[in-house]
Amino acid sequence: MQEQEVEKQYERVLALFFAGRMPRFNHARHIAVASILSRLPHGRELMHLGLQIMATRAGTPEKYSREITDHYWEQLNGDLPDMKEFADVFKADTDFE
């Protein structure tokens, strides 16, 4: 899948992540977002930025760790997450239609 297609398909996910408003942001969701970003130019840097935003908006900036993020980044397999993993995020889009 081309970079532009990945961005378009997961636009809502990325927008919420970079706004620091990703719901249910646990470890599994963190890995799923990282898997998306790994397909984009400067994905690692974007992952760090997004996690800093998420932690700061949550009032816990000390929870962000470059080392931990890099550790898990190296373990990514390059597969995109199933869209079902973000069903709640995409449902929110249809709630306003």
Q: How far apart are CA 54 and CA 33, in angstroms?
A: 12
Specify the pTM: 0.88
Number of domain units in the chain: 1
Range(s) of the domain holding residue 75: 3-94
What confidence tens digit (pLDDT) does each residue in 36-89 have?
999 999 999 999 999 999 999 999 999 999 999 999 999 999 899 999 999 999
Q: What are the CA-CA distances from residue 54 to residues 3, 23, 62, 97 (Å)?
A: 24, 10, 11, 27
16-31 per-position pLDDT tens digit: 999 999 999 999 999 9
